[in-house]
Amino acid sequence: MVTPYPPGAPALCPGERVTRPVLSYLTSGLAGGMDIPDAADPSLKTLRVVAE
């Protein structure tokens, strides 16, 4: 699960596809100071994809 803070609501859940709008939301949030503590790489330079 990827849960940016703030707001603390999941942006990605297990089994969900990673889409451009979600990536755009997360990367713009990071640029604005959002923290993503539960991602495998909190900088989002890489993503861990378990299965497609």
pLDDT at 48: 84
Is the model's pLDDT at 7 over the cut of 70? yes
pLDDT at 50: 80
CA distance 50 to 52: 7
In the block, tokens 């939301």 appear at 25
Domains and CATH numbers, the chain: 1-52 (3.90.105)
pLDDT digits 0-9 by tens, 8-46: 999 998 888 889 999 999 999 999 999 998 888 988 898
Say if residues 27 and 46 touch (Cβ distance below 8 Å). no
pLDDT at 38: 86
pLDDT at 49: 82
